[in-house]
Structure 1
Amino acid sequence: MNVLIFQHSSGENPGAFLEHISSCGDTAKVVHLYDRQPIPQLDDFDLLLVLGGPMDVWETEAHPWLVPEKQAIRTWIQDLKRPYFGICLGHQLLVDALGGKCIPMQKPEIGVLSINLTDNARSDPLFGPLPHQIRVLQWHGVEAIDLPPNSSVLAQSEACAVQALRVSDRAWGVQFHPELVQGTIQSWMTDPANHQCAVDWLGCVDAVQEMVTDSDTIAEEQFKVTSSIYTRLRQI
């Protein structure tokens, strides 16, 4: 399998998914959109993985590459009909590109928190085998409120009604960060803007350090989640 990955910032990389891609003997091409790398010919790939990022889906003037990215997502899902998996911003881009709507949250969701799978998830090809409740890493100030046609909500949290969804039968998005591995959040915190954002949203430096520690605590369990997800994406 040949995986195409859209990356939106230097710090938010595919993490655990690169390990799963490698262990399965698959190949990956990472396109650094923030560095204005061009989107390659989509026909050459079997799976599209779209990562998170600090920008918002509507910030097309500041980040003009969002426009061709959304078009590529539409082409991938509607015309090529191949598997798609979006993380955080990639989740929001899925919603936006297919006619839904995302808006700023009244209160951002950040930290290691629990999500609950919905009844819809029981029969879902990716989420069906997962536990009903999962602890995940959240870091977002935007949420999906209007979903594209043929959408099914697969997971929710107290703060966000759409933590995971499927559109039609081959496109998934998750608001949380399942790519997490040991050291991911500590690495993100080396960026002063990320660190300040976390302090502002959490309220103090001690809470930021707690998030770093908690994220490492769940990394092993998250790795199992991404392994299950990637294995099943290969079978779609």
Structure 2
Amino acid sequence: MQEILIFRHAPHEGPGYLADYLGRRRLPWRLVRIDRNDPVPTSIDGVPGIVLMGGPMSVNDSLSWIPKVTDLIRQAVAADMPVLGHCLGGQLISKALGGAITRNPVKEIGWLPVTRVDNAMAQDWLNGLPPEFEVFHWHGETFSIPPGATRILASRDCPNQAFVIGKTLAFQCHIEMTGDMVREWARVGAGELAPVCATVQNPQTMTADLDTRVARLQGLADKIYDRWSQGLK
């Protein structure tokens, strides 16, 4: 198998646990470092799958790489190639497929629950997961569900937490976290953590019982990544 392309948009928002998952399954991958001005490929020829990580920017920003990445996403979806987006990555998928990205009523930052939507697509993609489970969040914007896609996850304050279309899976939340990533994000993003409220946690709350929370999340991520990777050729 040729290399899965993983797009990184900020130095501290790499593939995290996904890299461990792919390594254990001997699925080769290559990092496209948008934050280091790596060129965006213009073609999906020979690419088995595309993954898009998070980032502090908005997909509504005037950044030269965004149209190139959204064009690549459209090519991949049209070719029935697996695409996976985390947070900003999910927003890029939504935009590429005709969705809109707008301000969420509240910021969601920290460990918060999401709920499986009651439909057949959610049952398929989230098979073996509980109806509600805790994931990590760090976002102030949200995507709409693009035409032809199906919503599979929601939270109390952000109804659109994940959608699927074909072999493509887009998250607003983060399932790729490691303990080191949580600690680093709490440090780098400290300016966003005030005022603390029901949906914005302080670093102490965010890192409490961290090993247990991360282990639980990674167990969930294994099942989700298993389902997504079924589409890789």
Query: TM-score w.r.t. structure 2 length?
Result: 0.90
Q: Distance in 1 between matches of 2:141 and 2:201?
A: 24
State yes or no: 1:154 paired with 2:156: no
1:234 & 1:30 partners in 2: Cα distance?
Answer: 17
- Distance in structure 2 (CA, Å) of the matches to 1:37 and 1:138: 27
Farther-moved stretch of structure 1 (48-57 vs 100-109): 100-109
Instruction: Show the counterpart of 2:219.
Output: 224
Cα deviation 1:5-36 (Å, max 9, x = unaligned): 01110000101100011000111101011221
Distance in 2, Cα, partners of 1:206 & 1:117: 23
**Deviation string, structure 1 residues 118-155 (Cα, Å, up to 9, x no partner):** 1125655431222111101111100123x221111101
**Residue pair 1:92, 1:102 contacting (<8 A) in 2 also:** yes
SS of the aligned residue for 1:14 comes to coil
Amino acid at match of 2:185: W
CA distance in 1, matches of 2:96, 2:201: 38
User: 2-side partners of 1:206 and 1:105: how far apart?
Assistant: 17
Q: In the alignment, which residue of structure 1 is the partner of 2:52?
A: 50
CA contact (8 A) 1:87 1:173 kept: yes
Identity in percent = 28
Extract unaligned runs of 5+ from structure 1. none
> Which secondary structure state, in structure 1, belongs to the residue aligned with residue 177 of structure 2?
coil
8 A contact 1:121–1:127 mirrored in 2:
no
The letter of the residue matching 2:87 is C
Aligned to 1:179: 176
Q: Equivalent residue of 1:150, what SS? A: coil
Partner of 2:74: 74
Indicate the residue corresponding to 2:137 in structure 1: 138
Structure 2 residue aligned with 1:14:
15
Partner of 1:166: 164
- Structure 1 consecutive aligned stretches of length 4 or more whose deviation exceeds 3 Å: 121-125, 199-203, 214-217
Aligned to 1:24: 25
Gaps of 5+ in 2: none
Shift of 1:233: 1.9
* Greater CA drift, 102-111 or 24-33: 102-111
Q: Work out the CA distance in 2 between the residues paired with 1:76 and 1:183.
A: 32
Kindly state the Cα deviation for residue 212 of structure 1 after the two structures are TM-superposed. Answer: 2.2
Listed one character per residue, the Cα deviations across residues 135-176 of structure 1 (whole Å, up to 9, x for unaligned) are 01111100123x221111101110011111112x21111111
- Counterpart CA distance in 1 for 2:229 and 2:95 is 25
Between the aligned partners of 1:69 and 1:102, the Cα distance in structure 2 is 16
| CA displacement, residues 14-73 of structure 1 (integer Å, 9 cap, x when unaligned) | 01100011000111101011221012342222111110100011102xx22112111111
With normalisation by structure 1, the TM-score equals 0.89
Shift of residue 91 of structure 1? 0.8
1:140 partner SS: strand
**Contact 1:121–1:154 (CA under 8 A) maintained in structure 2:** no
Q: For 1:160 and 1:123, locate their aligned partners in 2 and report how far apart those are by CA, in whole Å.
A: 17
CA root-mean-square deviation: 2.0
Does residue 105 (structure 1) correspond to residue 104 (structure 2)? The answer is yes
Contact between 2:85 and 2:170, CA under 8 Å: does it hold in 1? Answer: yes
Distance, in Å, in 1 between the alignment partners of 2:196 and 2:68 is 31
Q: Give the whole-Å Cα distance in 1 for the aligned partners of 2:54 and 2:201.
A: 25
Of residues 206-215 and 5-14 in structure 1, the stretch that sits farther from structure 2 once superposed is 206-215
CA contact (8 A) 1:122 1:128 kept: no
